[in-house]
Structure 1
């Protein structure tokens, strides 16, 4: 091969290598099911903050229908809607009673990235940790409603074995007690409850899509078609 031709081939090869080296690597897919944000009101949002469809879920931890929704819908929501980045899910609290408040404070305990796993744990095990409510003595119930915030919450957490549940998530008792005594958190939950009531929420679970409360929608079978229509 003539010297000039060899030189041209070498230059072409170098140019190809240079182009390959400067070509940007493909972007890794974002795992939106691991993306958690906190709103100014203190509620937690799962998914793409720029999602075109924003689903808000109003929940109470002592609401059996909320537990049923979590078991039935959390998987399909994450796999078919949140993962794509098209839908985000925000959990807003509507606190109904002292037990509900205690569990809500435990779900919100710790870094924001722990919220949805804590939330799912309490919802899915609701049938277990709520059983002692059926046999609680008058003295126990009195401790749940008298004394300061920390004392009430600690009594509920002990009687319903919520400390044991939090231990499975890596929380020791001092960490749990700090959350149970967090007056600012309790105030945020109370404000979320008031905001939900002001928005017209009268029962849980209830849902809003892009700020519009959905009438007559309290379960996955009626929510899913409305999500699909919003996409």
Structure 2
């Protein structure tokens, strides 16, 4: 259920969120979860020597979801990379302020795109799972970018440390938005769009309720559940077994 909020929550809420909280926001943001939940870790243990691609074993799936239900239309139009007829479909839930998500999008996604998406083997559906007001604002700006949704997401992830850790995140986001063609007026109009904010929150609510998503990034690969920012070698080991 989406709780009632004031019209300017996404805009005025930017100043109220601490940078320290944002940069660890890869798990549920409820008070109870804050005390117990940890950020979703990469599938491979950090600090462990990289395994040659030829010997990488696919990480174990952590559950399954019904693909028909997973692909049902949600509150917002799907943001998709790849061809509809691709044999492998990946549904990714991510938060704009999650450092693990940023790492995946900077390191793994370019290789995934080149190796599988551009070659017609994989279709990626990207869904917003915003843990905090600043992540909501980032996603709202991406949605307001329309055809430039993915370039905007890419820029926001690459510059995550700049705006998410800023003492004045509103101004930091505005500077990035201006480079994408926003004016002061269109920036504020976007961030005060009540329906858009409600819809972005509904995407997260559906992920939680219907598919038990509780951390980011979370991936469903042909219905199999995987949590954490996987490497291209790990994703290849999963995908190749499905082709």
Q: Do both share a fold (TM > 0.5)?
A: yes
- Residue deviations 1:32-75 (CA, integer Å, cap 9, x gap): xxxxxxx6432311111222211111100111101100111121
Please state if 1:76 is matched with 2:136: no
Hey, what does 2:150 align to over in structure 1?
116
Residue 208 of structure 1, aligned match among 208, 211, 220: 220
Residue 181 of structure 1, aligned match among 181, 192, 199: 192
Aligned ranges 1:32-71 → 2 under 5 Å: 40-42=74-76, 43-71=78-106
- Residue deviations 1:125-164 (CA, integer Å, cap 9, x gap): 11111222xxx4xxx7xxxxxxxxxxxxxxx522xx1111
Please state if 1:94 is matched with 2:105: no
Please state if 1:172 is matched with 2:191: no
SS state of the match for residue 80, structure 1?
Answer: helix
- 2:185 and 2:114 mapped to 1: Cα distance? 36
Which protein has greater RCO, CA pairs closer than 8 Å, 6+ apart?
A: 2
Aligned residues of 1:60 and 1:95 also touching (Cα < 8 A): yes
Aligned residues of 1:217 and 1:223 also touching (Cα < 8 A): no
Unaligned runs of 5+ in 1: 1-38, 141-155
Hey, what does 2:170 align to over in structure 1?
157
- 1:123 and 1:226 mapped to 2: Cα distance? 25
Superposed displacement of residue 210, structure 1 = 2.3
Hey, what does 2:29 align to over in structure 1?
none
Aligned residues of 1:205 and 1:219 also touching (Cα < 8 A): no
Hey, what does 2:24 align to over in structure 1?
none
The structure number with the bigger radius of gyration is 1
Aligned ranges 1:18-37 → 2 under 5 Å: none
Aligned residues of 2:96 and 2:156 also touching (Cα < 8 A): yes
Hey, what does 2:165 align to over in structure 1?
131
| TM-score normalised by the chain length of structure 2 | 0.64
- 1:201 and 1:228 mapped to 2: Cα distance? 25
Query: How many residue pairs are counted as aligned between the two chains?
Result: 168
Poorly superposed stretches of 4+, deviation over 6 Å:
none
SS state of the match for residue 230, structure 1?
Answer: coil
Hey, what does 2:61 align to over in structure 1?
none
Q: Going by fraction, where is helix more abundant, 1 or 2? A: 1
SS state of the match for residue 203, structure 1?
Answer: coil
